[in-house]
Amino acid sequence: MTLEDRQQATRPGYSVEIAIVLLLSLGQSAAYAIVSLAAKLTAAAPLAQQTAVLNAPQSARPYLDLTRQLLGIFFELIPVALVLFLLLRDRISPSRELGIDYRRPRFDLGWGFGLAAAIGIPGLLLVYASLQLGINAQIVPSALAPYWWTVPVLILSALQNSILEEVIVVGYLVTRLRTMNLSLVWIVAISAVVRGSYHLYQGFGAFIGNAVMGVVFALFFIRTKRVMPLIVAHALLDITAFVGYQLLPDNWLDWLRV
């Protein structure tokens, strides 16, 4: 049986596989995000006066907090190992088919920085506009206390986010959906909506911004078959947000919250 025949035979099971993978990872996050948004919308304070914390303390005890942060980062990456295993089981090489390798460092870094700039600047404007319109909570990228380990943990958190989201929502999901005879429009739309959905705890502006990012990233992957530039771009965006927020003076943060 050829690889094409094998994929054709197992195709009906992919929808179940996708559902399980998402419910174990970012689909689960989307469900909690919807509940969190509902709680914010039904609270006494307007949405724009509430906060959404991206990196929250897990304990008041510094080293217990560090331990829980590192365990959280580790276990969040387990679904990535799962999807890579599932793809390898079907003889789909993450290197050849998803571009998860180091063969083209200039391409990956160049496009990574370019995508980060193209998305980051409009993203800041969208966050500001969403706050003014009252459709988004105030985003707090880090609420961690300033310990010696805080910045390294924030960088690891950013890398974990970028690997988890780009491998699953773009590389894995798009690859699987393309074997199910869906049109390009539906594939891109599903990937984008999934990405936006698990950011709903921040508000509707975050959903829109991340869905647009999802469209761009899905189209880029379909065109280039490389996830690495997307990981680089996402990591740069998150590191800048997390570490920058942690290190900015309080008077600057007060200005940003206005």
Q: Is the pLDDT of residue 250 over 90?
A: no
Average pLDDT over residues 162-181: 96
Residue 258 has pLDDT above 90, yes or no: no
Q: Is 10 a domain residue?
A: no
Mean pLDDT of 166-176: 97
Q: What is residue 83's predicted lDDT score, i.e. its pLDDT?
A: 97
User: Which of 240, 245, 193, 201 has its CA nearest to residue 37?
Assistant: 201
Assign 223 a pLDDT band (cuts: 50, 70, 90): very high
- When comparing pLDDT for 252 and 109, which is higher? 109
Bridge partners, 42 (sequence order): none
Residue percentage of the chain with pLDDT more than 70? 91
Please report whether residue 235 resides in a domain.
yes
Mean pLDDT confidence for 10-18: 79
Contact 136, 199 (CB under 8 A): no
Res 82: pLDDT = 97
Q: How is residue 59 written in tokens?
A: 């304990």
Q: Which domain holds residue 247?
A: 16-257
What does the pLDDT read at residue 75? 97
Name the residue type at position 101.
D
Determine, yes or no, domain membership for 7. Answer: no
Kindly state whether residue 205 falls inside one of the protein's structural domains: yes
Confidence at residue 189, expressed as pLDDT on a 0 to 100 scale = 98
196-202 mean pLDDT: 97
Which residues on adjacent β-strands are paired with residue 12?
Answer: none
φ/ψ region of 57 (left if φ > 0, alpha if ψ in -120 to 50, else beta) reads beta
Note the pLDDT of residue 59. Answer: 96
pLDDT reported for residue 161: 98
104 in a structural domain: yes
Mean pLDDT calculated for residue range 159-169: 98
Task: Look over the chain and give the mean of its residue pLDDT values, rounded to a whole number.
Answer: 92
More confident residue, 9 or 115: 115
pLDDT one-digit tens code per residue, 52-74: 999 999 999 999 999 999 999 99
Q: Does residue 77 register a pLDDT over 80? A: yes
5 Cβ contact list (under 8 Å, min separation 6) = none
> Could you tell me the CA-to-CA distances from 250 to 50, 137, 241, 246 in Å, in that order?
18, 19, 15, 10
- What pLDDT is stored for residue 24 in this prediction? 94
Classify residue 112: in a domain, yes or no.
Answer: yes
232 belongs to a structural domain: yes
> What sign for the dihedral angle of Cα 59, 63, 69, 75?
negative
Structurally, the chain folds into a number of domains equal to 1
- 29 in a domain, yes or no? yes
